[in-house]
Amino acid sequence: MARQKKINEKKSDDKRQRILVGAIKVFSTKGFHGSKVSDIAREAGVADGTIYLYFKNKDDILIQLFDESLKVLLNDMRKALSEENDPLKKIRVFIRMHLDSVEKYQSLAEVMQLELRQSSKFMKEHTPKRFTEYLNIISDIIRRGQETEIIRKDMHPAMMKRAIFGAMDEIALGWVLSKQRKRRTYELAECADKLADIFLAGLTLPKQGS
Amino acid sequence: MARQKKINEKKSDDKRQRILVGAIKVFSTKGFHGSKVSDIAREAGVADGTIYLYFKNKDDILIQLFDESLKVLLNDMRKALSEENDPLKKIRVFIRMHLDSVEKYQSLAEVMQLELRQSSKFMKEHTPKRFTEYLNIISDIIRRGQETEIIRKDMHPAMMKRAIFGAMDEIALGWVLSKQRKRRTYELAECADKLADIFLAGLTLPKQGS
């Protein structure tokens, strides 16, 4: 019985996963508003009704897609950061991994950049707890760097987490848009290192140029 | 006749302006989706029908609000920048003026941050030409600074305009959200200078911390 239950759970997980993967493809091709639940069902190779065993509606698919992607990214990020001690190297790792993941999961990044931020239902009703956790990784690194006197103490951690995330996110948006227009203006891997250079220089150096 | 026409035009401009100012107040209080055209008419002190003499619908009010605000900001920005020659100082001026305007026009900034980016109709159908112009001011400064060998040549202007705008925009969003939650975490004027410090340090200094 227990074994059967486990097998059923595994099968169920597979189906749910297939629906999520199908949703990424459909959303990134047709846009969120242009996609139907039946398109996702076809892409995932399941019956339309099956989707409603796992998800309330199309919005719910988007919300769970965001949540699970962030869960995976959070785990990967924490693992990679635990291998570094230096706060400055941690910041470089964070920026690299974030932009790497945009490049690695292009279709998902498209959905996040172009669809998610336009789903007002999502933005208003769903408190993105994991997103807050993700941003707070940055402010925790900054705080730690200030305690050990590696990072300038006058750089507010809450401001810095927004500055670093905002810069990465807008670079990712520009990259996604340039792909859609079929002319790439910059490569993400290169950007990651340049952006890290900028923040590390700014976080460690005395004021200048004013 | 000509004089009468001028007077009529002026009156008409006033009404249009009153509707836009009323819209800022209504959108920032009730949210875009929660606002009705009649709420805006009441706030502006005009008849409901008058609104449709100037605007197609609620979406159109938001679009024109965005466009005109950006027009004013573009003019002010260009004027302020023309008074500086040094590319590094120009970047500091840009960041200061952008965040100053968020602080100065708080209600408008709320509408922009919380409503505009969630209006999928807006984001998809309206090509924000002035927004592109605004971003390109940054890349032009970077390019000029590279030509005069003040700014590191390996910092891609298209990347840098996104990095600087993204950092400012996300800081503005954090500030707007923290106001709504009634606990301010940082002040924008201070942020502007710190953020400028960071970008100036990064744009002028050799790679380090890697």
Asked if A141 reaches chain B (Cβ–Cβ under 8 Å), the answer is: no
Coil, strand or helix: which one is A170?
helix
Coil, strand or helix: which one is A197?
helix
User: Taking CB atoms and an 8 Å cutoff, what residues of chain A touch B33?
Assistant: 120
Enumerate domains of chain B plus CATH numbers: 1-55 (1.10.10.60), 59-204 (1.10.357.10)
What is residue B151's DSSP assignment? S
Residue B201 backbone class (left: φ over 0; alpha: ψ -120 to 50; beta: rest): alpha
CB atoms within 10 A of CB B207: 15
Would you write out chain A's pLDDT as a tens digit for each of its 210 residues? 566 666 666 667 789 999 999 999 998 888 888 899 999 999 999 999 999 999 999 988 988 888 888 899 999 999 999 999 999 999 999 999 999 999 998 888 888 777 766 555 555 556 578 888 999 999 999 999 999 999 999 999 999 999 999 999 999 988 988 877 777 888 999 999 999 999 999 998 664 444
Q: Give the C-alpha separation, B79 to B86, whole Å.
A: 15
Among A residues 181-200, those touching chain B with beta carbons less than 8 Å apart: 185-186, 190-191, 193-200
Would you write out chain B's pLDDT as a tens digit for each of its 210 residues? 566 666 666 667 789 999 999 999 998 888 888 899 999 999 999 999 999 999 999 988 988 888 888 899 999 999 999 999 999 999 999 999 999 999 998 888 888 777 766 555 555 556 578 888 999 999 999 999 999 999 999 999 999 999 999 999 999 988 988 877 777 888 999 999 999 999 999 998 664 444
The pLDDT assigned to B210 comes to 45
Q: Tokens standing for A85? A: 């001690």
Please tell me the total number of residues recorded for chain A in this structure. 210
What would the pLDDT profile of A119-155 be if each residue is shown by its tens digit?
A: 555 555 565 788 889 999 999 999 999 999 999 999 9
pTM of the model: 0.87
Residue whose entry in the numeric block shows the structure tokens 């290192």: A193
Question: B162 and A154 in contact by Cβ < 8 A?
Answer: no
Closest partner residue to B171 (CB to CB) among A118, A166, A195 is: A166
Q: Give the C-alpha separation, B170 to B58, whole Å.
A: 26
